Structure 1
């Protein structure tokens, strides 16, 4: 007889332990063990327990193990979350089997020895068959579903609790999320605000909506929201820093003239454009969209063009706003020299269009839905033993669960957008369809995107500064890992699983639209490196940039209205405080929007920052060293960002690595 020492590590998370018996079968190149009850095993939360398994003969090199946990007739059937299993052979060779998933009663689950293997590395039929069977099961567990024409596919599910348990919220996450939702809505119900359809009679009344939920920045925005510099600043460092671009000529449909605008230093608009000091925000993506009806009342959505100028003191300021795309007598160009309420009303309409463009394009589509595409394709096409699975799986945590919640509670027929925003109903899917068609691969890669928008040297653009540093750190890490496993372009081309992975992303995520520039296959190591960097950046950094500030900038409703009840003014001199209050969202829409933005800006206690890998999927020294190195670089960047922020009136914190979650998890 020969003895194998089996050490089992149970996860240190709530409900990770089990009272059920645990069985193991070891499979090696020279044979397999019997299914053995680990009789003395301790499986309480956070435990490390060792047992001995005896076999008549050596099993050779261990390839896989089977774990199962039948229900105990005398106790409840509870799931178990082991982190890993280590096995020491009679020759003192140690094999590590990463698990990191819930094991429920039922069929045995197979786990591979931890050394990463590409499909053409599999030299034994045991590994080949296990790989094939794993992907067959995953394809059944994670099916594609068509959400709407022109919109990326989603996972097939009927709510988050129908998802495989492996991708659901933890007990901690689920409990905190539910408490946050209930706490916010109960407060609004008690105050009688949640169901009040009346208009605000005074803006100061909005300040009483939530108690103890303001942030320093939301208070600051409330104080300064009318000021032009803060209006312009948000295009750089607010929740949607991806729309603004430098221009050298005016669009033909935006006929701003020199005599309209005031340029400091006695310059003119043409010269300022030539010198690179003029910027444009164009919401043409929303053109032709009919706003939704709320509470039986037709809402209004504008399609503005906003012209901004960088002054000699480097401060960006708005100089002209046109609220519709086609020039006309009833579509005036509003200017800072207009009456107070004409200019303020124009800016509020822009901020309402910004709410839609940000939430549906920059936030929902370009982070949540794309992260879901990356996650489902990964789970369907790459087995746990694949090096790219090990690299990318931490960046899928909770994404499928939060997106299923969003489809039910935010963008579904009875959700927030349909009930409380101008972009609900048919408008929502039309905007997503149009937005997807306008996505390019380059726009998802921040170095290319900054170049294409000619935003390389605009001052005080902290999203760009921090984002480029994060991209470079991630790229260096990804490059190290990929070059460790792929020594040549030929190896990339031979990896059929990776080719199927990117093929699924192109087909189901980007609907096989070649104009996007999304790769349909990989031919070189650099191509693979860049794409994987984009996947990680999108699922972590980009989401943090467009999510973290939602309550900071939207907690004060007039700065971020979800809808507008009246159409934009068709001539100047027709606005007042009364018309502004009648145009802004009513009380119930305001408070529901504030509650949603507050919820989406909360950080869970089981938040995992970028570069922190709580689960050891890699067993080889090199990728583990690279993980440690990237964590150290991110810590240094965090110090640099915090030092810079100490000198800023508005600190830019959203891309501080300590505030960037590893995945789209909220």
Structure 2
């Protein structure tokens, strides 16, 4: 295993030394704990809450305000927004709110809010589109990167399904341009979700069929696969608190050679806080008894034969992906299950 030097602030100094594997065992362990703590804050606030809960809330509210219930894109999107508002209202009180479970995290409610605010100002459209994000981060050839492998396959399957449905209802670009409900939807998302930030690359309006396909693919992938990827493994990887501490009770070391195992124990959450975090992760990683897997549509909204057939083909491709993931996982010491379609919910529920 290759260890990188670790510093806990942006610039090294006498009060912020660069910690190395060659330092004392407890110095190096404590430094890694603080890095993991920062990573967990970013993961929970930005990658989970903001990008797969709060931004989808914008997509949902804009759809409810802009589309009539008989609009084909409402029929396509609504099953993926089934419980978005319900779960977000609860999360704002019980998890993210001033008195919620994350209020005792290292950043607290105000700090997490500020972290999301800063990230949203720099969030780009391409960063939410998995193929572009993987390329931008140079992750195309990293070995054994199952999130990328399964995620790109899922993205392509969703894209194929969305393309079939959208092209069926929009045979030309002119149909897109004159659909006022569609234009209202994307305008509200751009204005209220991304605060009119043109530098983000988010579309202000739709001009082509391809633009609609890409955006809806991003939306559906976000509330299904991406949410599963960042949320479903929370208990598996976070219930052992030292592996991903949300709260550290002491400040980072400013001098080398002054730590001990007692320092590490004092820095960790106490027993009650640890139990609360483990319970939170268990709840986040669980599923409801009425869980609806991706591609399953109990409420039949489309009545034309063509989109019904497209749904069947979508389900078939998801089944094939599941078979491939299951076969691959048989060869892994630690299976990667989070993007196996039967385990991915059709909408954000937790």
Q: TM-score range by the shorter chain?
A: over 0.9
Tell me which of the two structures has the higher relative contact order, counting C-alpha pairs closer than 8 angstroms and 6 or more residues apart. 2
- Aligned with 2:34: secondary structure? helix
Question: 1:350 deviation in Å?
Answer: 1.1
CA distance in 2, matches of 1:651, 1:318: 24
Give the 5 Å matches for 1:225-240. Answer: none
SS in 2 for 1:477: helix
Query: Which residue does 1:410 correspond to in 2?
Result: 95
For 2:85 and 2:311, locate their aligned partners in 1 and report how far apart those are by CA, in whole Å: 25
Shift of 1:458: 0.6
Task: Give the 5 Å matches for 1:77-156.
Answer: none
Distance between the aligned counterparts of 1:333 and 1:651, measured in 2? 35
- Structure 2 distance, partners of 1:318, 1:487, is 54
Whole-angstrom distance in 1 between the partners of 2:167 and 2:131 = 21
Query: Structure 1 residue aligned with 2:139, among 455, 469, 474?
Result: 455
What is the match of residue 112 of structure 1?
Answer: none
User: Partner of 1:338: helix, strand, or coil?
Assistant: coil
Tell me the TM-score normalised to structure 1 length.
0.52
Aligned length: 350
Greater fraction helix:
2
TM-score by length of 2: 0.98
Distance 2:308 2:53 in 1: 28
Determine if contact 2:55/2:193 at 8 Å carries over to the other structure. Answer: yes
User: Aligned to 1:567, what secondary structure does the other structure show?
Assistant: coil
Please name the residue that 1:343 is paired with.
Answer: 28
1:505 maps to 2:186: no
How far apart, CA to CA, are the structure 2 residues paired with 1:357 and 1:559? 15
The Cα of 1:339 is off from its aligned counterpart by 2.0
Where does residue 43 of structure 2 map in the other structure? 358
- 1:319 deviation in Å? 2.0
- Unmatched segments (≥5 aa) in structure 1: 1-228, 230-316
Q: Deviations over 1:103-123 (max 9, x none)?
A: xxxxxxxxxxxxxxxxxxxxx
Q: Deviations over 1:71-124 (max 9, x none)?
A: xxxxxxxxxxxxxxxxxxxxxxxxxxxxxxxxxxxxxxxxxxxxxxxxxxxxxx
Q: Which residue of 2 aligns with 1:323?
A: 8
Q: For 2:89, what is the secondary structure of its paired residue?
A: helix
Q: Which residue of 2 aligns with 1:467?
A: 151
Runs of 4+ in 1 over 3 A off after TM superposition: none
Q: Does 1:423 align with 2:114?
A: no
**Which residue of structure 2 aligns with residue 653 of structure 1?**
337
- Tell me, in whole angstroms, the C-alpha distance in 2 between the residues paired with 1:466 and 1:542: 11
The residue that corresponds to 1:235 in the other structure is: none
Could you say which residue in structure 2 is the equivalent of 1:377? Answer: 62
- Give the drift of 1:428: 2.2
Residue correspondence of structure 1 range 163-202 to structure 2 within 5 A:
none
Give the match's secondary structure for 1:333.
coil
Q: Partner of 2:349 in structure 1?
A: 665
Provide, for residues 452-476 of structure 1, a one-character-per-residue CA deviation record: whole Å limited to 9, x for no partner: 0011001111100000000000000
Task: Give the unaligned 5+ runs of structure 2.
Answer: none
Aligned to 1:571: 255
Structure 1 counterpart SS, 2:33: helix
Quick check: which has more Rg, 1 or 2? Answer: 1
Deviations 1:546-570 (A, max 9, x none): 0000000111011111111111112
The answer for the alignment partner of 1:33 in structure 2 is none
- For residue 592 of structure 1, report the CA deviation from its aligned partner: 1.1
